[in-house]
Structure formats: structure tokens, C-alpha cells
Chains A and B, each alone.
Chain A
């Protein structure tokens, strides 16, 4: 027999199961999304790439010896494949541009391992077939559109201009922040490469057994030293190769994954508190019966088993009801949380978990029942202090869960936003710079953005703006050991000339010195320093002058001349890994330019803009695109805007889903806490029937009684709220200690938590208060305790 107030406990367990299922499922969906974010590229890889800091004369010697083809050949690749801990090996070899209709398409020689090794996803079809007689290829999404339009390219021949290939698969669009791989969208990945020739362009990929990265790296480095050509290459990790956006994705995935785990733990804790309450109440209700059972011969063990069987029955009943309720609510929940589902295994696990939690929570009351003093219990029912304290625990844990989850949500969001900020998440760049993007950029549309645009960009929604003028191919560098007879290609060097505001939001960290203050001053990257000055201490080159020779073009090429410019080195900035775009100045030089320079004004460059806040980002970008479209009607395409932090959409969407999940979890936990409170209040009403009847007898109205109990419920709930507040703050602080984010709670949440407690008290206290008001005075005086 289940008493009416115990129904509340069962509903509470039922809701707890729904909360757990929802939390688990949201966690699972988020984990899946986060895993997809983190593993967009196989993390267990090493990359062989040309060493940026290699001695130039060594490079020239090898280049000349191998006739410009300086990649590893198949024999050397096989040697690397044989290294212990290496799973498989692949390469990205020579590449040739072929013309598409609008985009420049790149044909890349690779092998059948390339796509699976990097964990690249196929939109349709399958990976290329190395056994095929006809060369087969996987193509990028832009290539598919360029050559085949809306028709299905799978199985069709493709004429690249270098011969026919058969298309076996189409890659999914590469995530925007994986800059190193973006070019694959407009690529033809050609396999098999059957020759043993050394490729001209080469990047090698080595997948290692999980956990063996460092050991394999050391072995590969040792093996490379044995190859003559190996001296050109350095071995880096996936994170070094893909740079900050990739590291960021992995950090975010790990951090948010941790946040999700904390939520699940909180949900379990809240449910356990209420279950303990329910079973303690149930045992207390049955004490007289249990005492009689003991008196007529039941052993302690039999009482214990009896109570536990009861717990098992109720736990099973409520868990099944919870799963059924969840299935019933699923269509509605799926509208809010994309990707939610329930499988038979998950349902079974939820039931088992519910029963398990019930058994765990029921153990203490069962032991209490088994140990009860028979004679005393027969004479008088023990005071149920234990039960009320546990009842309050439901509200305490509910409010604590609310606070903790809000704090986690705020902390994690702030942390992610900060990381996005560090990555340049508020930056948008309109660019004509070289880099991976130029390979997919429209070959027809020339980016018209110039310095005049910079001057006329509207200030609304912007915090800062800077112009970067890229001199990549127009300057010759004359290092201190200038040798007029040396090949000129040796001295080509990227020079970026920027407005001073650039350093305010896009600057690299300085190793030594300062940023340029006036035109004619320059900072150089660490890699540049190593390449041109050797093993020199950065401090020693401060103040040195370097001479740049600019080739001045005239209509008649024969009349071209060299103009000399001299810059003073005032600082050295930290070199990045192979990061791209905007920040890829590790091997470069940055100087200020003179805005009055008419020549620069006419040239294309980069417009770096810092949006005032991440919230305004989309609005600001729309405004900027409108501005640029207006200035260059018909010539400017909004797709020319580039975001250094990459596409934040998946991360923002995951954050949003996680925050929604927290909100749902907090609501359900509070609901569970509310049921616990209602149970306690009903017990209090039952216990005080006599007092209620007496109050009615001496003049209290039914409404007055109702108000009195509502007030008590509110006070009780507020007490729970205050305790929950303390516990929640402590919990949030502890969680923050164990997480990458900082403890964060806004003071506004404190009145909100107390307000919510009050509402719970009033909402869930209403029914018990109404029951109290319904007690007939005469009946209450006769039967009250």
C-alpha cells in the first residue's frame, strides 16, 4: 500500500529518472559533437614537414642534387612504416594547379591511406582504390561542384588536363578553422601514386598507436637522420601542424566534456537525496508494523530484506515510469535538444541505474528499520527527525545544483569565449594575402579592399581596425652578408607593413625589444632571426639595420630598378608553429607603413577588424559586408571575409546546447527538490493535524491555516535555499578548481536562487497547505497525533 504522500516520492524518482536520462542523453549528444570537433583530424598523427629554420645552403645543395624534388620516396616511406608503434603512413605529394570554371583546383598526388589516416569524412562514395588500373581520386566539395554541378560524380571520369581519373568519393567540406586542410575542398586527391620518384612537394603523415606519440616521434626523427633527404624535415605533432584553432577545439572539447560529466554527477546526487527521503519516510510510516513483525518473530535480516524488496519494487516501478515518461516527452525534447534519442540499451541502463540508486538510497533506511528497538517502537513511534532533514536535502541539493550548474555554464562559457577571444574570435579579415585560401578563392573576383576602405569603414560595432599591407613578392632582402651574385630567389621575403593599431589586437608576443613606433622601425619573427642571423641572441640584433631592395615596376620591364629602403630592428617576436593567416609572421618581418604612401594606398592588402563584442559579431560582419559591397558594387563578395578563429559555429552551438542542458537539468533537479519538499510538508501536516484542528477550534480560518502552511513551506524552502546557496557556491568553486575555467558566479544569481527557493516553497507547499486547510477540526482533534 502506498500512501498519498509517498506518491510524491515516487513521482520524484520518476522525474529523477527523466532528468538522468535527459542529462545522460544531452551529455552523450554533446560528447559526440565535441568528439567530432576534437577529432575532425586524427589527433594521433605526426607530420613531417620541411624545416622552416633549415640552413639555406643545405637546402640549396639538396635542391640542386635532387633536381628540386625533395620529398621522401617510397622506399624511405616503407622504412618509416616499419618503425615500432607506427600504424600507417601517408603523404601529400606533388601538386599541380588545374583550372576549374571559377576556382583554381589543385591536383595532389597522394595514396589510399591519406583520407582514412587523417580521419577526413566522405560526403558520398568511398575512398580511392589503390588496386585500380585507372587512377582513381577522391575530390573536394568545391571540385565536385566545379566539375559536376548538381550531378553525382561518383564513378564518373574526370579530365584534369593531366589525364583522366575516376571519382570514387567526395569529401565533406573541411571545417573552416582547419586552415591547413581547407585547400582540399578544391582538390583532386589522386591515387595511386605508383612511381618511386621523390615528390616536389611533400608532407608526410604518420599515425602512431595511441599513447606512443613521443616514442614514435623520437624513433622517426632518428630514422630521418639516416636519410640524406631527411635532413630537410622536421617532425611535428598534429597540434603543432594545425595550430591554435585545432588545439582550441581539443581544449574546448575536453573542457566542455568535463562540464557535462559534472552535470551528470549532480543529477545523480540530487536524485539520491530524494530517494533517501522517500525510503526513510516509507520506513517511518511502517515502523509500527515492522515492530509487530519483530515482536512475533521476524529476524533483523528478514526485516532488512523485506524493506530492500520494497525498495526494489518501488525503484523498478518508478524507473519504468520514468523511462515511459521520457519516451512520451521525447518528441517535445527533440525540438529543443537536437539529436536526443533513446535506445533499448539506454532505456535498460536507465532502469538499472534507477533501481541501483534506489537500492543504495534504501540501504540506510532498511538498516534503520532492522535495528529499531522493538519495545520502544511498539509503545511510541520514534521521532522522524532524520526524514525531515533528508527532505530538506532535496531542496538544498536542488538549489545547489542550480547554482553549480549555472556557475559551470557561466564559467565554461566565459572560458570558451576567452579562448575564442585569444584565438582572434572577434576578428574579421578582408584579405588578398597568400595562404591556403588563395587556392579556393575565386580566380575571377579580385578582392578590391584597399586602404581607402580602411579609412571609411563605419565605426559602429567596431573596437579597432588595422590595415596590413602585404609586400610578399615586391621586396628583396639584403641580409648583412649581402652577395650580389647570389640567386635572387634566395632573398625573397615576406614583409608586412601595418598600421600601428595592428599591434593593439593582433600582435605577437615579443621575445625582446618593442613594437615599431615610427615608420622605418621593424620587428622580426624568431624564425626569421634563425634563418638569416643563425644562432644569434635576439638582444644582439636590436638596433641593427637591414636593407630591403624594392623592385620598382615600370611599363617597360627593361627599365625596372631597385629602390632601397632601410629598416631598424626594434624587436623580435615569438615565432608560431605553422599557423596560418594573419598570425603567420613567425618567419617574417613586420614594419609600420606610411599612410601617406600613395603607392600602398592603391594596392590590395588586408583589413583587420576587431568587433566590439562576440555578441555583435554577426551584426557587425553584415554591416561591414554591406559597406564594402556599396563601395565596390558587383566586385565584392562577402565570402572574401575570413575569420582567423575559424568557424565558431559548431562550438557556439555546442555551448548553447550545453547551457540549455544545464537549464533543463537545473529545472528538473529543482522539481525533484520540490517534490521532496511537498513530501515533507505533507508529513508535517499529518503530524500536526491536532494542532491544525486546535487552531481551527480557537478561531483560525481555513484560509489562515493554508497561509500558515504556505508560509512554513516557503520558510522551509528558503532555509534549504540558503543551505543550497552555500553548498552550491562551494560545489561550483570545487568544480572550477578541477576544471580549466575559473570560478564564476554573478551576484544576481543569489537573489535568483533565493527567489527560486521561495517559488518552490510556495508552489510545492500549496498542495500540503491546502490539505491542512481541509482538515475538519472535529476530526483532527479526535485523530490527530
Chain B
């Protein structure tokens, strides 16, 4: 599913250069459940952004489901993000002006899907995460756990092959966090690849494979 070869990512910050990732190689197979851990600044989020085609490596090769990311124009990369990837973020990133189902339906706006079908599929995704009854509620009317469930529903609405979750339980209490993880793991057991960034050892321990980063490299 994922092949990273000699990936490097550098940033300029003022006059200094920061090597977020260097000589980074990684392969993740289809259906794997991988946890990426590491301290703050170790390169976890940079790696996740590159994996999700939200950012491009400074050098090296990244092949996602057979597509070399360097050769992808914006339109192609956007299309892959839309079809292949579902994102779950620590701070949920829901649009406050939209209700739950409208947030879930957001990825469908970039496909050839009409409004009625968007709504049907969004409702189905919300049902899957157990939030059907909150479909018409706005984010400020939902609890943190419910907001993350909406975010997960949004991630799965396009039935992606790859789910990238960045600290999905970071802003939640332990019980809610557990239920969110179970939800993500259910998706993985349905055949999706799950890559999860966390600094919580308990969360990482649930993954079938654990990758620990330090200074932009795998330990």
C-alpha cells in the first residue's frame, strides 16, 4: 500500500534548516494496523502529512497504492486523497457552520455525487459510528467523542483504503478514546489500512506494528 524510499523533508525556519525526516524508508502493506510513535518534533506529523499527500517530500520516493507522489499534479493528488485516504485529526477539524451530516458529506462534494446521495451516504456513515440521531446537530452541540465520531464518519464516507489518524484520542477522555479506537479498528478489520500517530504507549500497543521515530528516522 505504502512505499517510502530515502525520504527526506527539510524546512526553513528563519536562517536555519530543520531536517524533519531523512533517509526514511518504510513499507506498509494493505490492511495493516500501524502505530507511529515518537516524542514531539520527532517527525510523526510530517510523516503523516507526506503519507496523506498533504505535503511532498523534499527528496526520495513515495509510492501510494502504485502511484508515485512526485509525479502527481495537484488534481491527481487531490483525487487520490479523496478516493484512497480518510483523515482523522486530534482536533477533529469539523466546520462549525455545518451540521454533522453536512460535515460527513464534505469529501463527497468533490466527487460526482448528487446532494440526495451525499446525504444518504453521510447518514449511513453516521449510523456506522453510532451517531445517526445527531445527524442534524452542529459541532458545538456535540461532545468531544461525538465530534471525533463525526470526523471518523467523514473519513470513511468514501470507503478509503487508507485511514490516517493523527492523535485521534488526544483530546478525549480515556473511555471515549477507547471507543474511538475500537471504531477505527473495526474499519481496519473491514480491510482498510490504518496508520495511527500517537504518543500514548497504550494506544500504540493496540497496533499490530509499532514504528518509533526519533529525529526524523525510525529507531
Smallest CB separation, A776 vs chain B (Å): 7
A778-B107 in contact (CB<8A): no
B70 within 8 A of A: no
Considering the chains assembled together, what is the distance between the CA atoms of A702 and B79 in angstroms? 11
B77 and chain A: residue at smallest CB distance: A701
Stretch at the interface among B81-89, B124-132, B172-180, B191-199: B81-89
Which residues of the other chain, A, contact B46 by a CB distance below 8 angstroms? 778
A704/B78 contact (C-beta < 8 A), A695-B106, A698-B107 known: yes
Option from A701, A777, A781, A782 in Cβ contact (under 8 Å) with B75: A701
Option from B49, B74, B83 in Cβ contact (under 8 Å) with A778: B49
Considering the chains assembled together, what is the distance between the CA atoms of A777 and B106 in angstroms? 15
Option from B55, B110, B111 in Cβ contact (under 8 Å) with A776: B55
A778-B110 in contact (CB<8A): no
- A509-552 contact mask (Cβ, 8 Å, vs B): 1 or 0: 00000000000000000000000000000000000000000000
B110-A699 in contact (CB<8A): yes
Q: Which of B142-185 contact A (CB under 8 A)?
A: 154, 158
A727 within 8 A of B: no
- B70-104 contact mask (Cβ, 8 Å, vs A): 1 or 0: 00001100110111000101000101000000000
A699-B111 in contact (CB<8A): yes
B54 within 8 A of A: yes
Which residues of the other chain, B, contact A198 by a CB distance below 8 angstroms? none
Which residues of the other chain, A, contact B87 by a CB distance below 8 angstroms? 697-698
Smallest CB separation, B27 vs chain A (Å): 22
A703-B95 in contact (CB<8A): no
A691-B95 in contact (CB<8A): yes
A699-B82 in contact (CB<8A): yes
Considering residues A696, A697, A778, which has the most beta carbons from chain B within 10 angstroms of its beta carbon? A697
A360 within 8 A of B: no
Smallest CB separation, A344 vs chain B (Å): 46
B52 within 8 A of A: yes
A701/B95 contact (C-beta < 8 A), A776-B55, A778-B49 known: no
A699/B81 contact (C-beta < 8 A), A691-B95, A694-B93, A776-B55 known: yes
B106-A698 in contact (CB<8A): yes
Smallest CB separation, B123 vs chain A (Å): 18
B59 within 8 A of A: no
B54-A778 in contact (CB<8A): yes
B45 within 8 A of A: yes
Which residues of the other chain, A, contact B82 by a CB distance below 8 angstroms? 698-699
Q: How large is the interface on B (under 10, 10 to 19, 20 to 34, 35 or more residues)?
A: 20 to 34
Smallest CB separation, B74 vs chain A (Å): 5
A690 within 8 A of B: yes
A700 within 8 A of B: yes
Option from B45, B54, B74, B106 in Cβ contact (under 8 Å) with A703: B74
B74-A694 in contact (CB<8A): no
B95-A782 in contact (CB<8A): no
A781/B93 contact (C-beta < 8 A), A694-B106, A698-B87, A698-B110 known: yes
A694-B95 in contact (CB<8A): yes
A778-B75 in contact (CB<8A): no
Total interface residues in chain A, CB < 8 Å: 20
Considering the chains assembled together, what is the distance between the CA atoms of A690 and B91 in angstroms? 11
Which residues of the other chain, A, contact B55 by a CB distance below 8 angstroms? 776-778
Smallest CB separation, A699 vs chain B (Å): 2
Which residues of the other chain, A, contact B154 by a CB distance below 8 angstroms? 698
A697-B95 in contact (CB<8A): no
A697/B110 contact (C-beta < 8 A), A703-B75, A704-B78, A778-B49 known: no
A702/B74 contact (C-beta < 8 A), A694-B106, A778-B54 known: yes
A776 and chain B: residue at smallest CB distance: B55
- A744-785 contact mask (Cβ, 8 Å, vs B): 1 or 0: 000000000000000000000000000000001110011010
Q: Which of B6-50 contact A (CB under 8 A)?
A: 45-46, 49
Which residues of the other chain, A, contact B106 by a CB distance below 8 angstroms? 694-695, 698
Which residues of the other chain, B, contact A693 by a CB distance below 8 angstroms? 54, 93
Which residues of the other chain, B, contact A703 by a CB distance below 8 angstroms? 74-75
Which residues of the other chain, A, contact B75 by a CB distance below 8 angstroms? 701, 703
Which residues of the other chain, B, contact A691 by a CB distance below 8 angstroms? 95
B151 and chain A: residue at smallest CB distance: A694
Which residues of the other chain, B, contact A778 by a CB distance below 8 angstroms? 45-46, 49, 54-55
Q: Which of A651-701 contact B (CB under 8 A)?
A: 690-691, 693-701
A700-B93 in contact (CB<8A): no
- A248-273 contact mask (Cβ, 8 Å, vs B): 1 or 0: 00000000000000000000000000
Which residues of the other chain, B, contact A695 by a CB distance below 8 angstroms? 106, 110
Q: Which of A693-751 contact B (CB under 8 A)?
A: 693-704
Which residues of the other chain, B, contact A777 by a CB distance below 8 angstroms? 49, 54-55
Option from B54, B83, B95, B158 in Cβ contact (under 8 Å) with A696: B54
Which residues of the other chain, B, contact A704 by a CB distance below 8 angstroms? 78, 110
Considering the chains assembled together, what is the distance between the CA atoms of A598 and B53 in angstroms? 102
Option from A690, A700, A781, A784 in Cβ contact (under 8 Å) with B110: A700
B95 and chain A: residue at smallest CB distance: A691
B90 and chain A: residue at smallest CB distance: A781
A691 and chain B: residue at smallest CB distance: B95
Smallest CB separation, A725 vs chain B (Å): 27
Considering the chains assembled together, what is the distance between the CA atoms of A697 and B75 in angstroms? 12
A690 and chain B: residue at smallest CB distance: B93
Option from A690, A699, A702, A784 in Cβ contact (under 8 Å) with B107: A699
Considering the chains assembled together, what is the distance between the CA atoms of A701 and B81 in angstroms? 10
Which residues of the other chain, A, contact B89 by a CB distance below 8 angstroms? 781
Which residues of the other chain, A, contact B83 by a CB distance below 8 angstroms? 699
Which residues of the other chain, B, contact A782 by a CB distance below 8 angstroms? 45
Smallest CB separation, A782 vs chain B (Å): 7
Smallest CB separation, B53 vs chain A (Å): 9
Residues of chain B having any CB pair with chain A under 8 Å: 45-46, 49, 52, 54-55, 74-75, 78-79, 81-83, 87, 89, 93, 95, 106-107, 109-111, 154, 158
11 examples of A-B residue contacts, CB within 8 angstroms: A690-B93, A691-B95, A696-B81, A697-B81, A698-B82, A699-B78, A699-B79, A704-B78, A776-B54, A777-B54, A778-B54
Residues of chain A having any CB pair with chain B under 8 Å: 690-691, 693-704, 776-778, 781-782, 784
**Given A697-B54, A699-B111, A701-B75, 19 other A-B residues pairs in contact with their CB atoms under 8 A:** A691-B95, A693-B93, A694-B93, A695-B110, A698-B87, A698-B110, A698-B154, A699-B78, A699-B82, A699-B83, A699-B158, A700-B109, A702-B74, A702-B78, A703-B74, A776-B55, A778-B45, A778-B46, A782-B45
Nearest 5 Cβ contacts at the A-B interface? A699-B82, A778-B49, A698-B107, A699-B110, A777-B54
